[in-house]
Amino acid sequence: MIDRIVEILRETAETVVLPRFRNLADGEIVEKSPGDLVTVADREAEVMLTARLAALLPGSLVVGEEAVAADPDVLTRLDDDGAVWLIDPIDGTGNFAAGQEPFGMMVALMRGGVPVLAVIYEPVPGTVAAAEAGAGSYVDGVRVVLDHTPVAPEELRGVVMTRFLPPDLRDQLESRLPNLSEAIPGMRCAAREYPELLQQTRHFALFWRAKPWDHAPGALLMREAGGVVKQFDGADYDPVHPRNGLVVCRDDAVFGLVRSVLLA
Which residues in the chain show pLDDT less than 50? none
Q: Is 91 annotated as a binding residue?
A: yes
Last residue of a domain, one of 144, 163, 190: 144
Residues 16, 92, single domain; the answer is yes
Q: Exposed (0-12), middle (13-18) or buried (19+): which is 176, by Cβ within 10 Å?
A: middle
Rounded distance between C-alpha atoms, residue 66 and residue 108, angstroms: 15
Cis ω for the linkage preceding 19 (within 30 of 0): no
Q: What is the pTM of this model?
A: 0.96
User: CA separation (Å) from 22 to 25, 189, 207?
Assistant: 9, 17, 28
Cα–Cα nearest to 139, from 68, 197, 195, 63: 195
Q: What is the CATH number of the domain that holds 89?
A: 3.30.540.10
Q: Is 88 annotated as a binding residue?
A: yes
Q: Is 73 annotated as a binding residue?
A: no
Residues 183, 78, single domain; the answer is no
Rounded distance between C-alpha atoms, residue 19 and residue 46, angstroms: 15
Last residue of a domain, one of 119, 144, 169: 144
Strand bridging mode 228-231 / 83-91? unpaired
Residues 106, 229, single domain; the answer is no
CA 203 to chain centre: 16
Residues 107, 194, single domain; the answer is no
Residues 122, 161, single domain; the answer is no
Last residue of a domain, one of 113, 144, 175: 144
Residues 74, 127, single domain; the answer is yes
Please give the torsion angle defined by the CA atoms of residues 66, 67, 70 and 75, in that order, rounded to the nearest 10 degrees: -110
Rounded distance between C-alpha atoms, residue 262 and residue 194, angstroms: 20
How many domains is the chain built from? 2
User: CA separation (Å) from 32 to 26, 49, 93, 202, 231?
Assistant: 16, 21, 12, 32, 27
Q: What is the pLDDT of residue 234?
A: 97
What are the residues whose beta carbons fall under 8 Å from the beta carbon of 184, sequence distance 6 or more? 157, 158, 159, 202
Partner residues linked to 159 by β-bridges: 184, 205
Residues 119, 213, single domain; the answer is no
Q: Is 5 annotated as a binding residue?
A: no
Q: Is 168 annotated as a binding residue?
A: no
Q: What is the CATH number of the domain that holds 204?
A: 3.40.190.80
Q: What is the pLDDT of residue 264?
A: 87
Rounded distance between C-alpha atoms, residue 68 and residue 76, angstroms: 10
- Domain extent for 118: 2-144
